[in-house]
A and B are shown apart, each in its own frame.
Chain A
Amino acid sequence: MDRLARIWDSDVAWSFRHSPIAIVAAVVALGTIFAAVFAPWLAPYNPFDPASLNLMNGFTPPGTPNAVTGQAFVLGTDHQGRDILSTILYGARISLFVGFAAVIFAMVLGIALGLLAGWRGGWVDSLLMRIADVQLSFPSILIALLIFGVARGFIPAGMREQVAIWVLIVSIGLSDWVQYARVVRGATMVEKGREYVQAARVIGVHPVRIVLRHILPNVIGPVLVIATIGLALAIIAEATLSFLGVGVPPTQPSLGTLIRIGQQFLFSGEWWILVFPSVALLALALSVNLLGDWLRDALNPRLR
């Protein structure tokens, strides 16, 4: 905590105060996250409640009142008469859930494997790093897509819909663990060679304790940066897979699914069904990305 407090006091806070881009990005990102988390209370409608839908409201342009209640649809409705604003809020909720869960999964896996590789060395290290090298030479979205495709194949047809979201999370997580593992492995190897760690080992301090006390604190900065940029990547990956129709099931539309639906109505002139979810996705991905970029510059860790 002391370390965190010191970082906060010094250049990072200064850099944040003097970076308008970072401030705007933080406001947009936090605002979106807030709106998504509290979607059930903030959204004017529950788009998953069939009772609230009325086909008379289908294809309502933005700003037009509800045919039944007279309350305006700020961003219009889709073909089923669902309020776009509400579907965006609920969709962002799913996108963010998948994104955060995938990042946490990748982070835990990457840190664990990085520690293992760095601490054990030898063939464990060679094997893990070889796998990492191979995986790094493929784009992570392709890895996620392939893992997802393969996993889908192995899951019995009846269960695919229910577990789709978890398969998606694991796929995206598995596609993005390498960077964490590399940073943690590097730091572990450096610390392992230090005399105090060797002394601690000699007097029989448990390796787990050494790792937690001495090694993890050194990699908080870089891991935080990777995680922030990773969140943007995971959100994009989820949206892409859902857009391709292989991600979350249509019953739980994420932003990517909404864009997929919207594209169908592009040629018939209902642009709002496509454009507003796209803007929401762009705002979310861009703001998180900008935050990550700023954080990397501010912490200036040995990332590259």
Chain B
Amino acid sequence: MLAYILRRLVQAAAVMLAVALVSFMLFRFVGDPLVNMVGQETSLEDIAELRDRLGLNDPIFVQFADFVWRALQGDFGISYRLQLPVSELILSRLPATLELALISGALAFVFGVGFGVYTALNRRGWVSNTIMTVSLIGVSLPTFLIGVLLIWVFAVELQWLPSFGRGDVVDLGWWSTGLLSTSGRASLILPAITLGLYQMTLIMRLVRAQMLEVLRADFIKFAKARGLTNRAINFGHALKNTLVPVITITGLQLGSIIAFAIITETVFQWPGVGALFINSVQTVDVPVMAAYLVLIALVFVVINLIVDLLYYVVDPRLRVDRAAAAS
């Protein structure tokens, strides 16, 4: 068990280091960082001095070590475009993204599992057929198009819901939440649906496929042969076995949701980290891009680790097998 966790941690660290390297190269070699930092009228001597002060004349691996060291402390430099510390920028926008991602994730999981189980158990009903057809459209629909169409229908034509921003936010220490105000909650609805819909269809199709597979398993046949009730078979035996792999994928989906938030945030002008990133790509604001790269990698690595451990808790078989495989 311990060996397994250690192994995973080493892998995670390796991934982070690789991403940090890409991020560093971006930071160091894209254009000249100084040109972006100083004004037109700065003298050449000042530039040379600044170059030295920033360590840009040091050997490259020293610079990388320095970059990693500062990154570990959350220091990613100053945004070229906004002239503010990157860490501050990201931190101020993180609550908006996390709130959106978690609400969407919860929506996607609840409805995804619900619809998935329903369509697996009622394979031939018209309700199932409708859900399946809509889900296929959902998978084919690009996220941004869902958002744009929702805005068209609910914000422009019906005028029921706001189409941009977070509404009124309440500050709780460094965390600003939109969940405590009516306009904040109303503003969350369309973005959350946009972001959650695609993930929901994915989870739903996965649950359905997995459940159908499990329902064909011998132990389900044996459970039926023992006269267990449909309820016990479907929700006790089949669903539990279905959820083991689903938990993995769903956990990983949370990472995707944070990534896809880039798109949703742009459509709804949601003041989150993703919108910040897109702006930085458009304007080649390298420090922000580099920091976002590291942040998103960190999110994925952490989620992967948690999911692995969760998997381990849920499936008794792995407590033996995986530990053996890892040692």
Contacts and interface: CB of A to CB of B under 8 A. Distances in A.
Interface of A: 134, 137-139, 141-142, 145-146, 148-150, 152-154, 157, 232, 236, 239-240, 243-246, 256, 259, 262-263, 266-267, 271, 274-275, 278, 281-282, 285-286, 289-290, 293
Contact of A286 (B22, B140, B148, B256): B140
3 tightest Cβ-Cβ pairs between the two chains A and B: A153-B30, A142-B259, A149-B281
Interface in B282-307: 282, 284, 286, 289, 293, 296, 300, 304
A274 B29 contact: no
A179 to B, nearest CB: 16
A166 B304 CA distance: 33
State the majority secondary structure of interface residues on B: helix
Nearest to A288: B140
Contacts of B256: 138-139, 142
A150 B300 contact: no
Size bin of chain B's contact surface = 35 or more
A244 B140 contact: no
Contacts of B267: 263
State the majority secondary structure of interface residues on A: helix
Contacts of B156: 266-267, 271
A152 B142 CA distance: 23
A292 to B, nearest CB: 10
Interface in B223-275: 252, 255-256, 259-260, 262-263, 266-267
B142 A285 contact: yes
A286 B141 CA distance: 7
Given A244-B263, A282-B141, 20 more contacts: A137-B252, A137-B300, A146-B293, A152-B281, A153-B286, A153-B289, A154-B26, A154-B29, A154-B30, A236-B140, A236-B142, A239-B142, A239-B145, A243-B144, A244-B266, A246-B282, A271-B152, A278-B145, A281-B142, A282-B145
Contacts of A150: 22, 26, 289, 293
A245 B283 CA distance: 11
27 contacts: A137-B300, A139-B260, A141-B259, A142-B256, A148-B281, A149-B277, A149-B281, A150-B26, A153-B30, A154-B26, A154-B30, A157-B31, A239-B142, A240-B142, A240-B263, A243-B144, A244-B278, A245-B282, A256-B144, A259-B145, A266-B148, A266-B151, A266-B156, A281-B145, A286-B136, A286-B140, A293-B136
Contacts of B263: 141, 240, 243-244
A148 B304 CA distance: 24
Contacts of A149: 277, 280-281, 289
Given A134-B15, A142-B259, A232 B144 contact: no
B137 interface: yes
A274 B150 CA distance: 12
Interface of B: 15, 22, 26, 29-31, 136-137, 139-145, 148-149, 151-152, 156, 252, 255-256, 259-260, 262-263, 266-267, 277-278, 280-282, 284, 286, 289, 293, 296, 300, 304
A286 B137 contact: yes
Given A142-B259, A240-B263, A274 B148 contact: yes
Contacts of B255: 137-139
Nearest to B280: A149
Nearest to B285: A153
Contacts of A134: 15
Tell me which of B31, B139, B140, B148 has the highest count of chain A C-beta atoms within 10 A of its own C-beta: B140
A148 B131 CA distance: 35
Contact of B148 (A148, A246, A259): A259
A141 B260 contact: yes
B249 to A, nearest CB: 11
Nearest to B23: A150
A145 B141 CA distance: 18
Nearest to B142: A236
A285 B136 CA distance: 11
Contacts of A285: 140-142
Contacts of A243: 142, 144, 263, 266
A240 B143 contact: yes
B140 A153 contact: no
A88 B233 CA distance: 52
A267 B155 CA distance: 9
A155 to B, nearest CB: 9
A138 B300 contact: yes
Given A153-B26, A153-B284, A286-B140, A246 B278 contact: yes
Nearest to B256: A139
Nearest to A238: B142
Contacts of A244: 144, 262-263, 266, 278
A190 B21 CA distance: 36
Contacts of B151: 263, 266
Contacts of B282: 245-246
A259 B151 CA distance: 13
